[in-house]
Amino acid sequence: MARQVLVIEDDPDIGRLIKLQLADIGCTVKLAADGLRGFAELEAKPYDLVILDLMLPGIDGLEICRRIRARPAYTPILMLTAKSGELDRVLGLEMGADDYVTKPFSVLELVARVKAIFRRVESLANQSAATGQVIESGALVIDVERREVRLDGRPVELTATEFELLLHFARHPGRVFTRAQLLDQVWGYSHSGYEHTVNSHINRLRAKIETNPNQPEYIQTVWGVGYKFRDVARS
Amino acid sequence: MFRSLYGRLAAVLMGVFVAVGGLMIVASQTMFEPERLQTVLEPNLLLELATYLIVGAVAFSLLAALIVFRFLTRRLRTLCESIEVFRDGGFSAPLQLAGNGGGDEIDMLAAVFAEMSERIVCQLEALAQVDARRRELLANVSHDLRTPLASMQGYLETLLLKDGSLTPEERRSYLQVATRHCERLGKLVRDLFELTRLEAHEIRPQPERFPLAELVQDVAQKFELQARKAGQHLVTEIAPEVPMVLADIGMIERVLENLIENAMRYTPAEGTIRVTLQADGGAAVRLGVSDTGKGIATNELANVFDRYYRVDRGEPGNAAHAGLGLAITRRIVELHAGTIRAESTPGQGTRFVVELPAAPAVSPG
For the stretch B275-322, pLDDT in tens is 999 998 879 999 999 999 988 888 888 778 876 665 554 444 444 455
Chain B residues lying within 8 Å of A178, measured CB to CB: 218, 221
- A180 in reach of chain B (CB within 8 A): yes
CATH of A134-229, one of 1.10.10.10, 2.40.170.20, 3.30.110.70, 3.40.50.2300: 1.10.10.10
pLDDT of residue B246: 94
Instruction: Determine the residue of chain A that is closest to B183 in CA distance.
Output: A106
Could you report the per-residue pLDDT of B87-131, keeping only the tens digit for each?
888 888 887 776 666 677 888 888 888 889 899 999 998 898 888
Give me chain A's average pLDDT, please.
Answer: 85
Which residues of chain A are within 8 Å of residue B236 when distances are taken between CB atoms? 224
Confidence of residue A30 (pLDDT cuts 50, 70, 90): very high
> What is the Cα–Cα distance from A134 to A140, expressed in whole angstroms?
10
Distances (CA, A) of A34 to A61, A77, B75, B147: 9, 16, 75, 35
pLDDT of residue B51: 85
B270 Rama sector, left if φ>0, alpha if ψ -120 to 50, beta otherwise: left
**In Å, how far is A212's CA from the nearest CA of chain B?**
5
Category of A219 on φ-ψ map: left (φ > 0), alpha (ψ -120 to 50) or beta: beta
| CATH architecture, range B134-199 | Orthogonal Bundle (1.10)
Confidence at residue A128, expressed as pLDDT on a 0 to 100 scale: 59
* Interchain proximity B250–A224, CB inside 8 Å: no
Contact A218, A140 (CB under 8 A): yes
Q: Averaged over A63-71, what is the pLDDT? A: 86
Considering only the beta carbons, identify the residue of A106, A196, A226 that sits closest to B250: A196
Q: Are strands A49-53 and A148-151 parallel, antiparallel or unpaired?
A: unpaired
Residues of chain B with pLDDT under 70: 1-7, 28, 30-43, 98-102, 307-322, 363-365
Tally Cβ neighbours within 10 Å of residue A121.
17
For the domain covering A3-127, report its CATH number.
Answer: 3.40.50.2300
Give A2's pLDDT tier (boundaries 50, 70, 90): confident
Q: Is A217 on the interface with B (CB under 8 A)?
A: no
Hey, is the C-beta of A223 within 8 angstroms of any chain B C-beta?
yes
Cα-only R_g, chain B: 40
pLDDT at A213 (0 to 100): 84
Least Cα separation, residue A46 to chain B (angstroms): 35
- Facing residue for B253 by CB, picked from A178, A196, A223: A196
| 3-state SS string for chain A | CCEEEEEECCCHHHHHHHHHHHHHCCEEEEEECCHHHHHHHHHHCCCCEEEEECCCCCCCHHHHHHHHHHCCCCCCEEEEECCCCHHHHHHHHHCCCCEEEECCCCHHHHHHHHHHHHHHHHHHHHHHHCCCCEEEECCEEEECCCCEEEECCEEECCCHHHHHHHHHHHHCECCCECHHHHHHHHHCCCCCCCCHHHHHHHHHHHHHHCCCCCCCCCEEEECCCEEEECCCCCC
User: ipTM more than 0.90?
Assistant: no
Residue B197 forms contact with A (CB below 8 Å): yes
Residue A179 distance to chain B (closest CA, Å) = 7
B-interface mutation test, from A101, A211, A214, A215, most B Cβ less than 10 A away: A214
Domain boundaries, chain B: 5-122, 134-199, 208-357
Q: Chain A partners of B209 at a C-beta cutoff of 8 Å?
A: 203, 207, 213
Q: Quick check: B103 contacting A, CB < 8 Å?
A: no
Beta-carbon separation of B217 and A223 below 8 A: yes
The candidate with the shortest Cα–Cα distance to A134, out of A96, A167, A175, A183, is A167
Convert the pLDDT of each residue in A143-174 to its tens digit.
988 889 999 999 999 887 888 899 999 999 99
**Does the CB of A199 have a partner CB in chain B at under 8 Å?**
yes
Domain boundaries, given as residue ranges, for chain A: 3-127, 134-229
pLDDT in tens, A11-27: 888 899 999 999 989 99
pLDDT tens digits, one per residue of B306-316: 766 655 544 44
Give the HSE-up count for residue B238: Cα atoms under 13 Å, Cβ half-sphere: 17
Please give the CATH topology (third level) of the domain spanning B208-357: Heat Shock Protein 90 (3.30.565)
Test B244 with A214 for CB contact under 8 angstroms.
yes
